[in-house]
Every structure is written in C-alpha cells, then in structure tokens.
Structure 1
C-alpha cells in the first residue's frame, strides 16, 4: 500500500515541466498510449498499416529513417498520417473524467530524443567530427488542412450532384456503431459524439478568416461571406437551420470549380463532419451531397481525407438515410481516384460497407432503382480503385464473405447488372495480385466460376477480366493447377491463347499462354522468358494492374467514366 500511495502522490504532484502525459501513463488504457513514447497521445494519427502513433513521434521516426518495433516493415507505402479524431476525443474525455491534465504534444526535439533511444547504436565511425546531415523537411501537416495547393491545375469538373431533396426533414436512424477499423483504439465511444467534439474544437480554435493573396476575388469574397453565414447557422441547434446551411453549401458547390476550391476550407470541412452524422435526413443528405461536390476537384481530394471526413462517410454507408448512403458511396469513389488517398480510406474502414453496398441487391426501402444502381456502381468503382493499392488487397481478401459475394455478383445472370459484373471481375483480378487474395479466391471456388463464365463470354470484356484473374491465381500455386484441371480450364484458355485477332487480344493471348504454362508446371525460367518477350517484368507476387496490362485500366476509364485526369468521363452521374 505504501508504494501505491507514493505512486499516486508522484503522479498527481509532478511538476508540469516534466513530460506532459507520462505521469499518468501507468493508469491510462493501453490504447491511449503511443507505442513509441509510452505516453498519452495528444495528437494521435493513423498510418497506412492501421497503427496509431503520436504525430511528433512518428514524424521523428520518418526523419531519422527508423521503423518502430511495433510497425510492420514488410511493406513500405508512402507515410500518410490521418488524424485519429475519435481516439483524440476519447483521450480528452478520459482525462477530464479522471481529473487529469490533458496531454500536450512533445516538442520535435523531445520526440527525436525518444526515437534515438530506441534506435540501435550506430557502428563506430572514423574520426570525423562533421555534424550529421539535416533531417528532411517535415511531413505535410494534416491537422490544419493543407494551406498550400496539393497538385497542379486540374481540368474542369465533370459533373455535380444535383438531386432535388425533399424539403421536409425526416428522422433517419443514426449510425449503429462506430467502425472498429475506423477508430482502432476507441470502439467504445460513439463516432457522432467524437466528430461533433472535434468540429467544435476546430471551429473555436481556428482563426475566422484567412488572408488571400489574390484580391481580384469577388468570388473569393463571396465565398468568405458564405462560409461565415454557414458557420453561423450551424451554431444553431435547430435542425431546420442546419439543413438550410447544408443546402446553401450544396448549392454553392454545385455552381463552379472556383467555388468548390474556395469553399474547401478546414473550418467548413470540420463543420461538415457532424452534419454527416445528423439524425435528420435533410441535414445528412445535403451534407453528403455537398461533400461529393467538393470532392470533384483534384486539389480537394487529399484535403478532405485528411480533414477526417472518411469515418463519418463510413458511418453513413452503414446506417444513414438511403439517399445519403448513395452520396457517401459517390464521395468515397471520388476520393479513391486520388492514389494518395487509397491506403487511408482502406485503413479507416470503408472497404466492408462498400462491399456490402456493391454486392447486396437493393431493398424496398432504398431510393429509386436507377439511384440504387448508380450507388452500387459508385461503390464498386471505389472498390476497384482501392484494390489497386497493395495495402488494401489483403484487407478485402480477409473481409468475411467479401470474395464469395464478389464472385456471386460476377456470375449473376441478370443482364441489367452487366456493368456491375464487370466491376466485380476487375476487383477479383486485382485481388489475385496478392497471396491472401489468391487463397481467398480459390477458397471461394473462383477457378470453376471464372472458367464457367469464360465458356459463355468469348470475345467479351468479361473474358478478358476472367483471364486476368486466372493468370493472377496461377502464380506459384500447386493448388491452382489441380483446381484448373478439374474445372476444364485448359480448353477455354487454349481458345484464347490461339486467338489471332489484334488489339487487346494480344494481352489476353499472352496471359492465357502463361496461365497454361503454370497449369503444366513449367518452370519460372520459361515464364520469365515469356515476360521478357512481352515487355514486362516477371514478378511472382505482383499486381495484375502492374503487369503491363494497361488496357484494363483504359477500358475501365472509358466504360465507367473514371479517368481522374480529365476527359469526358465523370466520377458521379448527374441527377
């Protein structure tokens, strides 16, 4: 008991000049502690692997080129830091309820000192007193919302969501629970509460106006005024005022590219988050539609993800109003067009609800048939782009029931679902690019299903996607050989391999030949030689998309309007 009292005395009366959160780390839930500093996190961020760290600590690891022991180094995607708003609010709530001071982030120097203590000692160097090279520039700030442009000029927007909304707000069920994958360390706290708290904090702490360098700005000035009006209306707790504010934002973001760029500010994005979780249909639908409109501009896409908008979108997908769910699927599709966003969207839990929306037939409670089909197509296209990222392929493969549902949709006889079938096949082809995906596909009977589909799809796009998926599954798998022989794959693959027509048939033909060689157990030297003749590298664990099969992506962009760089496609359909 004596030692226990001493500990409490030391904890509660420690000088504030000491580490701001280490005093209470022994009593804190372990998920509130940074794995690097072992202290309460003041600014927790999620990395693409799904782990959460104190921002300054993981930035110090990046600057010092050090991989923390708790972080898997099997893959090295670009380090993207996503604010874990839910966990931050959970930590602050716990501190307030416990009567403890809120944690403060360590300084950059203190974080580097912590990381250096974890690093193995450097080998003895020759007598060279020269100082170490300066660290690389700090990572892009995420919390304050990207004050600099993210990319070069982009083409004009292709379409804007313009659906007319029922002016009478209806009560729609709130999200059932926060996604555990969205908030890895705080599943016991409702996401709506946390998002609202984060929005209030941002609205009160950030300065009300920004100096803009280009004063030619009659549109900019009008956007500033509109921003202030919307934020003022949102301070009112009346749902009618909130709905009017979201309707104004939706209308403004519908009008022009300049307005979408000017209105994608940290304060408005922070205000949108709790509106996405509103119990009132009018508020939720308008907020989701406004976010879709903002996401159409390339410079806004990364900014929106880094603002913390993905977790509320995931909650809307799970239990929002049907029309808001349609918009949420469109928003995630639009955000997934940006390569830098894909790992983050996967980490934040969007994959499972997107798969459910994509593969599940619409219910009687959903919106109209055309709207439901559009939402499913948006969800499927989002999954296609997410599955290009290697970090998401295993996540999809391990999602319970996902691969079986994709195959069921891919082989559905309904002719109205042809576009959805093609999307399901394309996602399956990407999943075949990783070991987990290949195993999941074969567990679900994909070989027999794809061979059966090829028998009825000669010369069609579906045949091309089936060959790609079979080719991916054939890599280094004895199990594939037996399954392919049992399904009679040799006959359909021989037909493709002997096709002498030009164009994309050359790609299909080469993949079919390599798959046949794998079925016959020919060695990797022959496959490598064939790859060299085909102008690609032989990679036994590569992605289908990275195998030089650019025609798949081009065809997909033409058929589904997903070209991110302009052209005539659209990433949402006008309605």
Structure 2
C-alpha cells in the first residue's frame, strides 16, 4: 500500500484517471433489491454526485499539487471500499446480508467514515474544479458527516423472522405468514430472484469464515421453503429446481421473460409501460402509486425527478406484445385509465388529422406540402391536437420529409415537429423515430426559417437529460454554432438557447468549444446591438468550467467585456460574468488575468457586488475578492523583495516573508 501511495504521489494524472474509472464503475452498479435497499441507494446516489469532480480533474490540464495528490490517494481508497460494498449490495446474497446484520451495518459505518474523512482532507483551493461542482461535493461531504452519526440498518422483525426460519430443522414447517413476509422483504418473488439468490449464497458463504457446508445446507433449505411457498401462491412460476431430474425430452420449457419487460416495482409483465424523467420505465399503475404516496425520486436510480410527467413507452409495449404472440401468451391488456384524462380532440378534428396524415405518404409533393402545412398549424393550436396528430402516426412521416428537396415542405415538416414537441409525451416519440439526424440536416442546409425552427426543436427535446447526450453525439452542435454566427437575430437566440441546454451536459462542452463557439460568443458579448448579453454570458459561464472552454475564453480576450458586464449588467448577467472570471482567474494564467482585472478596476466592482448582489453573485464576488487580495499580497511581497535586493539589503528586519 505504501508503494502504491508513493507511485500515486508521483503520478497525479494516473491517480485521477483511476478515480474517474472507479466512479464510472460505481455509477454502473444498480438494482439493490435487498432488505437494505435504501442504505445502498443512498450511498450510490452520493457517490454518483462525486463523479463530476473526477471528470473535471481528468479533463483539466493543470498539474495537481503534491499535497492534493496525497489527499486524493485517501479518497481513492475510500472509493474502492464504497465500490466493493455496493457490489455486495448488487450481487450478494440477500439472506446472508440480513443474517450478518451487525457486520453489514459495521461495513456501512466504516465506508461512510472513510469517505467523510477523505473528503475533509481534499484541498479544493488547489484543484481546478468549477464552483458548481465544488458546492456539490461539499454538500455530499455534509451528507456523509450526518450519515456517520446515524447509520441504522436494523429491521428487527425481518431479522427475527429470518433467524427463526433459518434455525428450524430441515423438516420443520415454517409459518406461511413468515414465509410471505420474508419473500416480500427480501424481494424473492420470482424464479429469477430465487436463482440469483442461490448462486449469490453459494459464492458468499464459500468465501466467508465458518462452516460453508452446514451454512449452505441450512440456507438452501430455507430458500427452497420460500420457493415452495411462492409456487403455492403462483402455480405458474414453474419448477426450475426439478428440471435436472427429468429426461431432456420431458422437461417443460416455459418461455423466459426478458427482465426489461418486468416493472422494476411490481416485477410483473408490464401492460402500460411509461417512462419517467430519469429515463427509467415502469408499469403506469405502479409508478403512479409511488408518486401519489408523496415520493419525488425514481425508485430504481433514487435520482430526484425533475418533473413527474409519464411518457408512454410505445416501443417497449410493442416488443412485449410481439414476444407474447411469439410464445403463445395472451398479450397484456392495457388497463382502463381513471382519474386525470389525457387531452383528446373532437371526432371532426380526428378525421381531418387522419386524412392529412395519409397525404403525408402521398407521392405528390403538393399533397405532402399542403398536409405538412396544415398539420403545422393544427399542432400549434392545442395540446389535444398535438396528441391526436402524434397518435395518428404523423411523426415518422414528418421525419421522412426532413430530407425532402422541396424547401417549403421541409420547412413545414420541421416546424410541425417543433409544435408537436411542446406536448411532453411527444418528445420521446420524436427521438425514437430517428428525427435528430434529419433535424441536424435541416439545421445545416434548410432555409433560414427552417434552421431556426430546427434549433428550437432541438432545444425542446433536449429538456430530457438523456437526450442531451444523444443529440450531441449525432452532430447537432457544429451547425448550431454556425447558426449562432450567421443566423438572423431570432435564429441566433434559438441557437444560443439550444447550445446552453446541450452544454449543461459536461461531454458536450468540449464539442461546442472545438466547433468554435467561444469567439462567436465573445463577439456577441462585445456588440451592444446584438441584444444577446444574457444568452452569451450564461453559455460562457458553463463553458468556463471546462478546461478547453477556459482556455478558449482567455484566447478570445474576453476579460474586458466580462468586467464591463459586472459594471453595468443585470444581476443575473453580473453573476454569470463573475462565475466566468472566477474560472479564468485560476490555473496557469491566473496571475496574468488577475493583473489585467485589477487594472480594469474589478476590485471596486466586486466589493459593490459582494454587498448588494444576489446570493449567488455575492458568493462569486467574495471568492474573486479573496483571489485578488492573495494576488495583490504576492505582488507586494515580490516588489519589496526586488527593492531590498536593489538596495543591497536582501532581508528587511521588519518584513514578514511567507
């Protein structure tokens, strides 16, 4: 371990690479369906919040000071401990975790303390990470600090039930109500669950101390009792444990249901699958009950839901129906909807929509153009029309028209998609229809109005976080940057809002910088006639947290315009200008930028902002003032040393060197 630490101290970059890899591995671990699900999910959620810090350190080209590397070595060890514990929660035996309750609780406490202590040692002022990420890490640190005071995993009833059933002789009858509670609390409700538990039990017990033979026998017998009980409750479960006793030609071969077809909450075949804001799919009835109970998180990922809208997963439902039909199973029927009704259009409008949709498939360009134009207007009028048009199958046909050579048809098609995307349920339909490459094509080659509306469409559908990644990977950013440079005033604003939304995702920031967005933004910032100050400062603020973005902003000589924004901008613009300057005044060129900012009179502006600005503005101003004071002190020391050297007196007795 000492050798590993010494190596890590020498090679800070390699250490950061390993930490980023460990964080990615932790993010990939999920599905903690055991008695301590909440504790595992809480730990997993906190670890995922640390991942942006490692990514920023990985992308930064600034050297990592030796003192910071030493503290990161401790954090790397804590990461490894957390990863192993989360793997145990994901792959380990549910029964074993409960029986070894005290050891499990102790491991959680040890990992929590280890992470809290490691985070307390991290010298953030020495690391090139954004203020937003630092605030997030400090929040996680505070959560670990509180958590180590109250690690509580005791479910006494479950432990008592399990211990009672476990200690019974092999031929003793366990109370069915006890077996029912065990099956539910341990999430041993399907043949798949029981199989996985059997394998996990064997692997864990063999690796443990004690007598593996006796433990395996007792746990396996308990598992068999749970399985037999579940079969009496659900005869359709099958008897996979007896398959090996039958001749191969007599073995039943029930179809194996794909895990993706089961609702993560009910574990049943989904009848009406819907997608929540995190991108996870659930049975509508199950997730509605979850939300109605007051929860605002995704049950599977434990992420907070940005909204509580439910988008029908038509693709998955179609796959489920196909699988059922191929295996001779009656397809599940969607339950009748109760409660809040979805918007519906009148029978007359519905007939009109069906007629227009049929014309989209016509070989006549005139028919296609007129139908797309009318659908564009209908989609603009109401939510009812947007739903009706989508359910009539218009979206895939409109997507096909994005590549047409007829300029007007293309313009109507992309604008119709924009209007349809306003209805939340339609965003996913547009994405899964493969619309993004077509929208990017219009963004590159369409008329100016079509390009503007293509940019607005990308902004609309990128509200869903997962789609930001897909849109960035499909090449949308360079043509958006081109529109920002050469578009009409409205087109520039549409491009800016889309770029801002996409660059919230860290991976898209580098793409935007490499596409040349920074010089364009700085040019717009310096042009008072452009009317784009708010948009440009917002984008510059998020790009400045990226190493390439910071370098590009410095190269574009944006500092005078940023100081001017702090001097005369709106409160929001002052915040974003200060946030951008804060990133510029760190790293390799910080002395140069601080000197220039001081010459421009920044200190007085910051003091005013620290007293009268918004809460966020005050924080940014205070951090910049601290850096400016440190710079001025270093400058004073350097001048005093230079004067002392010139006078032949290298050490002044009344001067405090630091």
Give the alignment's TM-score, normalised by structure 1: 0.51
Using the TM superposition, give the Cα deviation of residue 354 of structure 1 relative to its aligned residue in structure 2, in angstroms: 1.3
Aligned length: 346
Matches within 5 A, 1:335-374: 335-358=461-484, 360-362=485-487, 372-374=488-490
Alpha-carbon distance between aligned partners in 1 of 2:258 and 2:606, rounded to the nearest angstrom? 51
Which residue among 486, 500, 505 is the counterpart of 1:389?
A: 505
SS at match of 1:219: coil
Quote the residue 1:466 is aligned against: 577
Which residue among 483, 492, 507 is the counterpart of 1:376?
A: 492
Alpha-carbon distance between aligned partners in 1 of 2:433 and 2:53, rounded to the nearest angstrom? 24
Alpha-carbon distance between aligned partners in 2 of 1:122 and 1:321, rounded to the nearest angstrom? 64
SS at match of 2:405: coil
Query: For each residue in 1:405-431, what CA deviation from the matched residue of structure 2 results, as whole angstroms up to 9, or x when unmatched?
Result: 111111113x3x22x122011100011
Pair 1:488 & 2:488 matched: no
Query: For each residue in 1:326-366, what CA deviation from the matched residue of structure 2 results, as whole angstroms up to 9, or x when unmatched?
Result: 211221222233334322222222111112212x244xxxx
For the Cα contact (< 8 Å) 1:498–1:509, is it kept in 2? no
Quote the residue 1:517 is aligned against: 626
Quote the residue 2:617 is aligned against: 508
Using the TM superposition, give the Cα deviation of residue 513 of structure 1 relative to its aligned residue in structure 2, in angstroms: 2.2
Quote the residue 2:636 is aligned against: none
Pair 1:438 & 2:564 matched: no
Q: Highest relative contact order (Cα 8 Å, sep 6+), 1 or 2?
A: 1
Alpha-carbon distance between aligned partners in 2 of 1:295 and 1:307, rounded to the nearest angstrom? 13
Alpha-carbon distance between aligned partners in 2 of 1:483 and 1:305, rounded to the nearest angstrom? 43
Using the TM superposition, give the Cα deviation of residue 248 of structure 1 relative to its aligned residue in structure 2, in angstroms: 2.9
Query: For each residue in 1:246-284, what CA deviation from the matched residue of structure 2 results, as whole angstroms up to 9, or x when unmatched?
Result: 123213212311221232249322111111121112211
Query: For each residue in 1:93-129, what CA deviation from the matched residue of structure 2 results, as whole angstroms up to 9, or x when unmatched?
Result: xxxxxxxxxxxxxxxxxxxxxxxxxxxx999734476
Pair 1:245 & 2:371 matched: yes
Query: For each residue in 1:46-70, what CA deviation from the matched residue of structure 2 results, as whole angstroms up to 9, or x when unmatched?
Result: xxxxxxxxxxxxxx998899xxxxx
> What RMSD over aligned residues (CA atoms) do the two structures have, in Å?
4.7
Cα 1:323/1:240, change in 2 over 3 Å:
same
For the Cα contact (< 8 Å) 1:393–1:437, is it kept in 2? yes
Alpha-carbon distance between aligned partners in 1 of 2:570 and 2:506, rounded to the nearest angstrom? 29
Which residue among 509, 519, 527 is the counterpart of 1:404?
A: 519
For the Cα contact (< 8 Å) 1:497–1:508, is it kept in 2? no
Cα 1:493/1:430, change in 2 over 3 Å:
farther
SS at match of 1:148: strand
Structure 1 unaligned spans of 5+: 1-59, 66-72, 78-120, 153-201, 363-371, 523-575
Quote the residue 2:382 is aligned against: 256
Q: Which has the larger radius of gyration?
A: 2
For the Cα contact (< 8 Å) 1:302–1:340, is it kept in 2? no
Cα 1:299/1:258, change in 2 over 3 Å:
same
Query: For each residue in 1:1-52, what CA deviation from the matched residue of structure 2 results, as whole angstroms up to 9, or x when unmatched?
Result: xxxxxxxxxxxxxxxxxxxxxxxxxxxxxxxxxxxxxxxxxxxxxxxxxxxx
Higher share in helix: 2
Cα 1:453/1:430, change in 2 over 3 Å:
same
Query: For each residue in 1:111-153, what CA deviation from the matched residue of structure 2 results, as whole angstroms up to 9, or x when unmatched?
Result: xxxxxxxxxx999734476799xx9963999xxxx9636569x
Alpha-carbon distance between aligned partners in 2 of 1:140 and 1:425, rounded to the nearest angstrom? 46
Alpha-carbon distance between aligned partners in 1 of 2:347 and 2:32, rounded to the nearest angstrom? 43
Quote the residue 1:111 is aligned against: none
Pair 1:302 & 2:412 matched: no
Alpha-carbon distance between aligned partners in 2 of 1:480 and 1:76, rounded to the nearest angstrom? 21
